[in-house]
Structure 1
């Protein structure tokens, strides 16, 4: 009953098998192998246009280097108050980009247009003392399990374009959001005005595979140097490419995300019928947030359930009583229906 994080899950057998095959051969290094080039072209197919792709090891690296590529002196980057770049990356985006992350409010983990406009207005381009607007980053799916609709992405993109700001998408759970919206990679990104994407694979069955995707290759001219200088150019980068080869083959990545989302739906349905737990807010991806009685949570932990207790967000719609706690549950490609049923039995 492992619901602490999708990072706790292992790697999918198909990805392990592809890594094993790759380990038995020789190939040129530093991203110059035919496999690296083949997978870069595969991203063109996935996104229905020519893109520039750069493999990195972690989501933090992907976000930090993506923002570093559009850095401006004195720049500030607008992100939701609870975004990973603000809350969970130890200042890495600030460190590598030289810019500040500025929080923007909004319910259910999503920036509102009004709040974003208000924050941008505080940083005009000639405000030397305060810094200037430089970029917007949005998380899809969000840190609280919600998903921006295509219309909402359109709206944020329109604001970015009016102010001449690049729009970055943190896609650590990109596949989960894609499946939830039943749309295509192109429709959820560049067709909506997204300029740069952090494309995550690690949370969805890969061992260690992330990519930075530029939808206008001309924007990526500095990234090769940024990646090298930040120690993210791996000599054997083909092992990241090999993971992506298996991940993207025959739609495996969407199948894995679909399974994780389905297991999350099963959890949501079970909690909705529970007497000792309830959903804290609606979610659409593979993250679930629940309010449970502390006694029930302790019993579930004694029976082997793994989950995180969670800090209450400021705009939380439900009230947590003194004998209750807020927890986060995350399903993965490796979560089984038996895992879900055992957890629901333990918690309820």
Structure 2
């Protein structure tokens, strides 16, 4: 019953085997090896973008922060939702790597920007001349921090606003695979075909040991990203071990298969919870995250039995006896026995 994070799940055997294979013999360092070139070509094929510049880093924060730094000047501001991952969970990493650019937090829905709110935010900035921040890129997170999705039409509506103001668009895709699987779309349809300029394409949360791809659909950004990655201490010397993971991840659509497994398990968990009287949801589950509201007594039973997850909006201290929200994140390896045991404990 490990629902704390999809980061806590195991590495898929095919990816572990790819790492072992990459460890046989020697290879040129710093990405100058055949495996890195092959993995980059696979990414171009999956994204239907033969001219794209593709790079690998080890963490999602590095992917987001260095990608954004490449398309953002220090005196600009990045437009993102107020609960975007780059705002809530990256310790000001984008601000640091950009050399001082700020974030403008955009309202809208509880979990997603709306084009109207984005347009108002963009037009509200850049009007004070040299005295204020200049307009910078738009950053979209999908799957969102609340487990919901931007539809393709919603992404296009946001990128249309960005284009109206000649702004670049970044997609934080730590759970890109889960979003694609849930929407039933291709990687290209959720990225450059929807107006996105650069994607942080996640692998770590979905069965990899630790790798993210940064994909620029305009290769003119390639050299600057390479310099920033090196200067930012994220150019691995033995980079073939990053590439090996991504190569296996993209082979035979493993990335989609693992995401579908996680999403399907999350759907099964949510459906079982719906059958329990009194259980509600903070946000409608759409991918691999579920936010149920459960009685405090159910939380205590779960915690006593070793269930691992985060309380969302409350505490079990001091004998609290009220309904409390939770965040449950399902990874690719979650079997039905974990769901059944969790549901039995909620029922009491």
SS in 1 for 2:71: coil
1:176 to partner: Cα distance: 0.1
CA distance in 1, matches of 2:125, 2:26: 51
Distance 1:74 1:6 in 2: 35
Contact 1:120/1:133 (8 A) holds in 2: yes
Structure 2: 5+ residue runs without aligned partners? 315-319
- Identify which range, 272-281 or 115-124, moves more after superposition: 272-281
CA drift of 1:241 comes to 0.5
Distance 2:256 2:132 in 1: 43
Q: Distance in 2 between matches of 1:276 and 1:309?
A: 17
Q: How far has the Cα of 1:345 moved from its partner?
A: 1.1
Q: Which residue of 1 is the match for residue 61 of structure 2? A: 60
Tell me the CA shift for residue 304 of structure 1: 1.7
- Cα distance, 1:131–1:147 mapped onto 2, change above 3 Å: same
Provide the residue aligned with 1:46 in structure 2.
46
1:281-324: CA deviation from partner (whole Å, max 9, x where unpaired): 21211011111111111111111211101149xxxxxxxx9711
CA distance in 2, matches of 1:322, 1:144: 25
State whether residues 73 and 99 of structure 1, in contact with CA within 8 Å, keep that contact through their aligned partners in structure 2: yes
Name 1:340's counterpart in structure 2: 339
Name the residue aligned to 1:234.
236
Q: For 1:249, what is the secondary structure of its paired residue?
A: helix
- Picking from 200, 203, 216, the partner of 2:218 is 216
**2:156 paired residue number:** 154
Q: CA deviation at 1:221?
A: 2.8
- Alignment RMSD, CA only? 1.4
Q: Which residue of 1 aligns with 2:317?
A: none
Per-residue deviation, residues 54-104 of structure 1 (Å, max 9, x unmatched): 111100000000110012231100111111100111111111012111111
The alignment partner of 2:129 has SS state of coil
Q: Residues 294 and 322 of structure 1: is their aligned pair in 2 closer, same or farther, counting only changes over 3 Å?
A: closer
Q: Which residue of 2 aligns with 1:245?
A: 247
Checking the alignment, whether the CA contact within 8 Å between 1:276 and 1:296 is kept in structure 2 is no
Quote the residue 1:7 is aligned against. Answer: 7
**TM-score where L is the length of structure 2:** 0.95
Contact 1:63 1:198 in 2 (8 A): yes
Query: Matches of 2:146 and 2:321 in 1, distance apart?
Result: 22
2:201 alignment partner in structure 1: 199
SS at match of 2:121: helix
Decide which moves more: 251-260 or 213-222.
Answer: 213-222
| Structure 1 gap ranges (5+) | 313-320
C-alpha deviation, 1:140, in angstroms = 1.1
- Taking the TM superposition and a 5 Å limit, the aligned residue runs for 1:21-170 are 21-49=21-49, 50-97=51-98, 98-124=100-126, 127-170=129-172
Note the 1:305-316 alignment, pairs <5 A. Answer: 305-311=307-313
What secondary structure, in the 3-state scheme, does the structure 2 residue paired with 1:234 have?
A: coil
Change (3 A) 1:301 1:146: same
1:172 equivalent in structure 2: 174
2:148–2:283 Cα contact (<8 Å) kept:
no
1:315 aligned residue: none
Preserved CA contact (<8 Å) 1:52 1:215: yes
